[in-house]
Chains A and B, each alone.
Chain A
Amino acid sequence: MSLELVCPAGNLPALKIAVDNGADCVYMGFKDNTNARAFPGLNFDQASAREGIRYAHAKGKKVLLALNTFPQADKWQRWQAAVDNAAELGVDAVILADPGLMQYASRTYPKLRLHLSVQGSATNYEAINFYHEHFGIQRAVIPRVLSLAQVEQVVKNTPVEIELFGFGGLCVMVEGRCSLSSYATGESPNTCGVCSPAKAVRWEQTAQGLESRLNGVLLDRYGANEKTGYPTLCKGRFEVNDETYYAIEEPTSLNTLEMLPQMMEMGIAAIKIEGRQRSPAYVEQVTKVWRAAIDAAKRAPQAYNVNPAWMAQLGKLSEGQQQTLGAYHRPWK
């Protein structure tokens, strides 16, 4: 199977730049809370979605649409209309998390290809196969909690294609189950499509350092040369027993370049790049690096070596101080 590179597009220029630089697929969302990057000014309206799909298809690339928040009971029609719109626009697949929406999509548009979003939080083959049997899910994006050995077990026991995250910001990674943001702001990804909504975020340069606050809660205070991260509760430094430290998780970026040959060997269908909230410049730089890496790994898997220039480029784009292989690299079971 050929490994696909799936790149983020928060707007039309990012979509085009991803396609131009070697993405096999781009994923995007509509301009509302039907997707988990519902930030002001981001995402696609009808005209830009149509143009984006036209552009990608003209170059033989695919467009995936994220409809990966959970419909709220009083606004179900919004999510239903988004599925209708996606089918009408002719996207290559919709990425869903909610079983109710999967049922609607699979019954109404039997030919529409369905992907299981990472927000669906399926971490074992039983769960994935359940979605496959009931709704015909053809691909699943795996939450960033499994080791590579565990991913391999999943791949061996399901007919569903498996997509893994390859690069991008990491959070506490209980995807689809995290409501930390709601704790401080009343809004979190599953229900409102946003973690740490911008309206609740304040950055302020003070005499003690650069402070980030979420709805008034002090998340972190950065020294002059410290790299910052996204203003989320999981990445804050907190006082615990008279000690101030990253009590939940340190800001890091996932980078799995060195595992590419193993991922290909075990039959992973696609590598996903995080970052629909980032600008076209990020999309261009990340897409170039991953295209080069995937091509190198396909050409000669045995001779594959991570080019230091790739690592330097991705390091520059990363959030926080470091990059990690995340849960993928974990010798214990």
Chain B
Amino acid sequence: MNLPAFNIPSPIAKAISMLPTYPPSFVLSHVLNLALGRLIDPAALEPLRGKLIGIHVTDAGLKFFFSIGNKGFVARKSGGTPDLAFSATAHDFLLLATRKEDPDTLFFSRRLLVEGDTELGLIAKNTLDAVEMPRFDVAELMPRKVLGRLFA
């Protein structure tokens, strides 16, 4: 799969940035919870427990905040400086998520910014790297299936 480079057009980004951050954070944390336990060993993320983690999609002007609690990922309202924050464009986040690019490569070329506690960042990166990706199955992403799991 080759992803064409893209940037989110600025009028759309402007509109998105005016939306509240909590609802998308809520959705993201639930999506992450789908992987927890099945793909990600919760013990590996123990050092991240209780820390405020921020994800900034720069070209979309979109910010997510979440942390890890007893039951997995929890959406958080912004407030205070995150303990760990990642910033990149939507396209670059997609390249990272699909393992098309190496985070160090993007970091060296200034496309990925990691701020805050470097050790937490490394734990997050290495834990995700160690995940054995199941074969990509589009059916798993069908809305009914995802919603079914969200409210299970």
What chain A residues lie within 8 Å of B99 (beta carbons)?
13, 279-281, 284
**In the complex the two chains form, is B102's CB within 8 Å of A278's CB?**
yes
State the CA gap A210–B118 with chains docked (Å): 14
Instruction: Give Cα A280 to B105, complex, Å.
Output: 12
- The prevalent SS among residues of B at the interface is helix
Point out the residues of chain A lying under 8 angstroms from B103, CB to CB: 279
A42 at interface by CB-CB < 8 Å: yes
**Once the chains are docked, how many angstroms separate the CA of A226 from the CA of B107?**
11
Encode contact with A along B76-114: 1 for CB under 8 Å, 0 otherwise: 000000000000000000000001111111011110011
> Which of A116-124, A126-134, A195-203, A289-297 participates in binding chain B?
A195-203
For A197, the chain B residues whose CB sits under 8 A away are 119
Give the distance in Å from the alpha carbon of A209 to the alpha carbon of B105 in the complex.
19
Number of interface residues of B (CB under 8 A): 30
| Min CB–CB distance B54 → chain A (angstroms) | 13
A282 within 8 Å of B by Cβ? Answer: yes
- Say which residue of A13, A14, A39, A285 sits within 8 Å of B122 (CB atoms): A39
Nearest chain B CB to A213 CB, angstrom units: 10
Check: B125 CB closer than 8 A to any chain A CB: yes
Known contacts being A198-B119, A280-B99, A281-B102, is A11 close to B129, with CB within 8 Å? yes
Q: In this assembly, does B34 line the interface, its C-beta being within 8 Å of a C-beta of chain A? A: no
A228 to B103 CA separation, bound complex (whole angstroms): 13
- Of the listed stretches B11-19, B21-29, B64-72, B130-138, chain A binds B130-138
A60 at the interface (CB under 8 A from B): no
B32 within 8 A of A: no
Residue contact A229 to B129, C-beta cutoff 8 Å: no
Chain A residue numbers with a CB within 8 Å of B115 are 203-205
Contacting residue for A202 out of B102, B118, B126, CB 8 A: B118
Given contacts A13-B133, A203-B114, A205-B113, contact A282 B126 (CB under 8 A): no
Residue from A41, A282, A318, A320 in contact with B123 in the complex, judged by beta carbons closer than 8 Å: A41
Q: Is the CB of A279 within 8 A of B133?
A: no
- Is B127's CB within 8 Å of the partner chain A? yes
CB atoms of B119 and A279 under 8 A apart: no
A27 CB to nearest chain B CB (Å): 16
Give complex CA distance A77, B121 in Å.
Answer: 31
Chain A residues 11 to 32 lying within 8 A of chain B, measured CB to CB, are: 11-14
Q: How far is the CA of A42 from the CA of B119 in the complex (A)?
A: 12
Within 8 Å by CB of B110, from A198, A204, A228, lies: A228
**Chain B residues in the interface with A (C-beta under 8 A):** 44, 47, 99-105, 107-110, 113-115, 118-119, 121-127, 129-133
